[in-house]
Structure 1
């Protein structure tokens, strides 16, 4: 297969500034260079890579470029966006300081501690951190998943 990882995702939003601020303030993405497409938007970066493209709905130029979209709110056909993180406790504290409600699930069978939040558009954002026995649940605890070994599926 040629797929090596997530390149970027695009969110169409009527809340462009609020959505950009959310991803910058809560997840630490940085606004960077963006081609001049003729419709409002932002490219948000992790390191040197633009991973999130935000575009403002309601522009004929946008519809001409990307095509019309029937999705008005929420994740539409996309279930969630997922990022990997390295410091669970730091992110938990950051989310609490931001007064950002979040849900958590520990999945030791696959070595993950998951945090879930929603952006201003109702899109679910998952953050995955390494599982450790001393990880604390600070947000709303979610039901633990029962992961079955492949030979039992």
Structure 2
């Protein structure tokens, strides 16, 4: 397992994009067609920072503020790692939510699992869809 990316939710996407591209040196790149605006910023050919538009007022999102670092994500590189994760989640009774990242060009679709450790603390696990046993 390796750290995959961090996500920042902000009401000022352009200022954040400007800082991370023009100052920090990341590059703007392709992003799947999500229903909320944002950017994927790349380092060494990988999307390492996701910027997402804060569409929900901070007061309406119980326990969550905007702007915020929304979550960190860990990439699992094999079906065995993915299966082991699911077995551990089940064995420990850990509540989680799943979602899919749509295919984007040659990049395959991906499966995500989100675990809320505490209010405002979210961990994502992600793998390519072909590692998921449906």
Q: Same fold (TM over 0.5)?
A: no
Q: TM-score range by the shorter chain?
A: 0.3 to 0.5
Structure richer in strand, relative to its length: 2
Whose radius of gyration is greater, 1 or 2? 1
Which TM-score applies when normalising by structure 2? 0.44
